[in-house]
């Protein structure tokens, strides 16, 4: 273990990797600040930029964008009540209220500190748990992998908000989109309508750029601009009382975030909502929640950062993404010719441990950058969106084109931009669609292999104990809440504990 950590730091601390880690974190923060650009969009748009880099360097930069954007998103949540990231939606509740009371600096500072502490705790857990988990995952055959993917889909559907049927519909739609193209098992072309471009399927990264970048730009044009609140340097001072009030929420948020982040498909948004809900329940200052309680910022911000790191547990060890952004990162792994999964730790130790070590370094850079520079980043909000979105559109289409040097990619971006816009307007959750899209090919491959192992009998899924256990957990996640609600009809969850309807429009 110690040798591996040393190898990781040796890899991450090279001048080139350090520089790209810094670039990633900085760009991530800026991307998180810009309305309409989240970590998923940022990673998708900037992925083509990394094609000329070494895989480990590229992944270090992309991961830097991921967790940098988590913090950048907080800045807009606090200053203009507009989450730059889905995982910072819940921060708007108390963060914006703190800003309105002239305490924007304290909110931003506690976010930076909480995120840093959470990152360190979750990374220690990630380093300790991921290798044994990968070892354990080596015993997974196709049926177990199939069951894990069912669990991933069940998790994301069960947390898709009030409407699980809608979440399931989106996941199924994602699976359907993934089926377009030549079936790898049989060589049969499906739903290609004679198009040569469709033979290799609908390109995943282009779909992501369309859904998240173009879709969000169109949505923002429709929504109009909001008025920001300025954060001055002197406002950043945080009091001792603020810190002491935040210690326990940060620790609780970190642990909760890590647990939820480990679930394939759960994502960091869910973790932040759960952390806020729990904090509100256990806090001695319940009445302050919703009107500017610092605990309401510290807990979800710690949780979303811990979950972002924990998302790498299923991504690296099973090859099943933890959330939407890790789904895009999974696509990046594939582009670089790397297959995430249990063998990755043995086959690519420098890459895996270098990536994990870069998280430590990146989070340190984030803290150093964000404590003093948050007001500077916040100035980006003063640039009118009308100036920014033409550049976002241009970067999106050129980035998409550069992946395969094909104009078809640009059409995919445009069409899925319209789909993304429609989904935002109609408040349809995007995360289930993304997960379905990513898992589609893996799901079908595991299904075909399972069928071959069972000589055509898929019931072998229920004869393998591990497989059966995972499927039971998936069924409980999907059906448990409904069964409990049916058995106890008089008891309904408190309105405040439910995910606000308006937040469902943002992706996990």
Judged by beta carbon, residue 3 or residue 455, the one nearer other proteins is 455
Judged by beta carbon, residue 391 or residue 475, the one nearer other proteins is 391
Kindly state the smallest distance separating residue 216's Cβ from other proteins, in Å.
Answer: 12
Question: In the window 474-503, what residues touch other proteins (CB under 8 A)?
Answer: 501-502
Please enumerate in sequence order all residues whose Cβ is within 8 A of that of 259, keeping only pairs 6 or more positions apart, or say none.
271, 310
Q: Of the listed pieces 70-78, 85-93, 174-182, 244-252, which binds other proteins according to CB under 8 A?
A: 174-182
Longest dimension (CA), the chain: 70
Kindly state the smallest distance separating residue 35's Cβ from other proteins, in Å.
Answer: 12
Q: Please answer whether residues 47 and 399 qualify as being in contact, where contact means their C-beta atoms are separated by less than 8 angstroms.
A: yes
Q: Of the listed pieces 81-89, 129-137, 243-251, 413-421, which binds other proteins according to CB under 8 A?
A: 413-421
Question: In the window 228-287, what residues touch other proteins (CB under 8 A)?
Answer: none
DSSP state of 209: I
Q: Which of 49, 335, 367, 373 is the binder for other proteins (CB under 8 A)?
A: 49
Question: In the window 184-213, what residues touch other proteins (CB under 8 A)?
Answer: 185-186, 188, 190-191
Distances (CA, A) of 491 to 164, 277, 480, 488, 500: 19, 17, 15, 6, 19
Judged by beta carbon, residue 6 or residue 458, the one nearer other proteins is 458
Judged by beta carbon, residue 18 or residue 448, the one nearer other proteins is 448
Kindly state the smallest distance separating residue 222's Cβ from other proteins, in Å.
Answer: 5
Please report whether residue 391 would count as binding other proteins according to CB under 8 A: yes
d(CA 363, CA 388): 27
Kindly state the smallest distance separating residue 476's Cβ from other proteins, in Å.
Answer: 20
Classify 391 in phi/psi space as left (phi over 0), alpha (psi -120 to 50) or beta: alpha
Question: In the window 100-139, what residues touch other proteins (CB under 8 A)?
Answer: none
Judged by beta carbon, residue 1 or residue 422, the one nearer other proteins is 422
d(CA 413, CA 214): 7
Helices (H), 341-464: 344-347, 349-378, 385-404, 407-425, 431-453
d(CA 314, CA 62): 17
d(CA 34, CA 400): 20
Kindly state the smallest distance separating residue 174's Cβ from other proteins, in Å.
Answer: 10
Please report whether residue 66 would count as binding other proteins according to CB under 8 A: no
Please report whether residue 387 would count as binding other proteins according to CB under 8 A: yes
Q: Please answer whether residues 430 and 324 qualify as being in contact, where contact means their C-beta atoms are separated by less than 8 angstroms.
A: yes
Question: In the window 316-355, what residues touch other proteins (CB under 8 A)?
Answer: none
């Amino acid at each position: 273990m110690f040798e591996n950590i040393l190898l990781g730091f040796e890899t991450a601390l090279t001048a080139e990797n350090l520089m790209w880690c810094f670039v990633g974190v900085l760009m991530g923060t800026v991307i998180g600040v810009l309305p309409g650009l989240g970590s998923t969009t940022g990673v998708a748009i900037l992925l083509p930029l990394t094609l000329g880099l070494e895989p480990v360097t590229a992944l270090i930069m992309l991961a830097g964008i991921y967790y940098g954007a988590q913090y950048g998103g907080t800045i807009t949540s606090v200053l203009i009540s507009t989450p730059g990231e889905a995982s910072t939606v819940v921060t708007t509740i108390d963060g914006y209220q703190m800003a309105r009371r002239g305490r924007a600096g304290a909110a931003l500072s506690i976010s930076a500190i909480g995120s840093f502490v959470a990152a360190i705790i979750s990374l220690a857990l990630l380093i300790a748990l991921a290798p044994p988990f990968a070892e354990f995952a080596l015993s997974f055959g196709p049926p177990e992998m199939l069951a894990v993917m069912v669990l991933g889909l069940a998790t994301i559907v069960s947390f898709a908000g009030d409407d699980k049927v809608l979440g399931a519909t989106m996941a199924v739609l994602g699976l359907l989109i993934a089926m377009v193209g030549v079936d790898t098992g049989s060589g049969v072309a499906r739903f290609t309508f004679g198009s040569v471009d469709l033979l290799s399927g609908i390109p995943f990264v282009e779909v992501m750029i369309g859904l998240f970048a173009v879709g969000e730009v169109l949505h923002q044009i429709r929504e109009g601009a909001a008025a920001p609140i300025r954060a001055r340097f002197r406002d950043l001072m945080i009091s001792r009382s603020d810190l002491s009030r935040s210690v326990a929420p940060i620790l609780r948020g970190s642990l909760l975030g890590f647990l939820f982040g480990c679930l394939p498909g759960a994502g960091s948004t869910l973790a932040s909502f759960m952390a806020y809900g729990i904090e509100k329940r256990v806090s001695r200052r319940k009445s302050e929640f919703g009107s500017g309680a610092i605990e309401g910022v510290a807990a979800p911000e710690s949780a979303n950062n811990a979950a972002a790191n924990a998302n790498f547990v299923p991504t690296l060890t099973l090859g099943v993404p933890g959330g939407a952004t890790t789904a895009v990162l999974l696509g990046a792994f594939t582009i670089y010719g790397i297959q995430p999964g249990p063998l990755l730790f043995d086959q690519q130790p420098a890459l895996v441990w270098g990536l994990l070590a870069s998280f430590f370094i990146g989070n340190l850079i984030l803290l150093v950058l964000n404590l003093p520079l948050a007001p500077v980043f916040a100035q980006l909000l003063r640039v009118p969106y009308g100036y920014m979105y033409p550049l976002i559109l241009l970067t999106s289409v050129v980035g998409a084109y550069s992946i395969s040097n094909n104009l078809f990619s640009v059409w995919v971006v445009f069409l899925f931009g319209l789909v993304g816009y429609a989904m935002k307007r109609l408040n349809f959750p995007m995360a289930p669609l993304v997960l379905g899209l990513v898992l589609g090919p893996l799901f079908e491959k595991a299904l075909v292999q399972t069928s071959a192992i069972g000589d055509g009998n898929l019931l072998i899924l229920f004869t393998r104990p591990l497989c059966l256990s995972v499927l039971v957990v998936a069924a409980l996640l999907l059906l448990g809440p409904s069964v409990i609600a049916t058995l106890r009809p008089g008891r309904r969850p408190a309105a405040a504990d439910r995910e606000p309807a308006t937040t469902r429009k943002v992706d996990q």
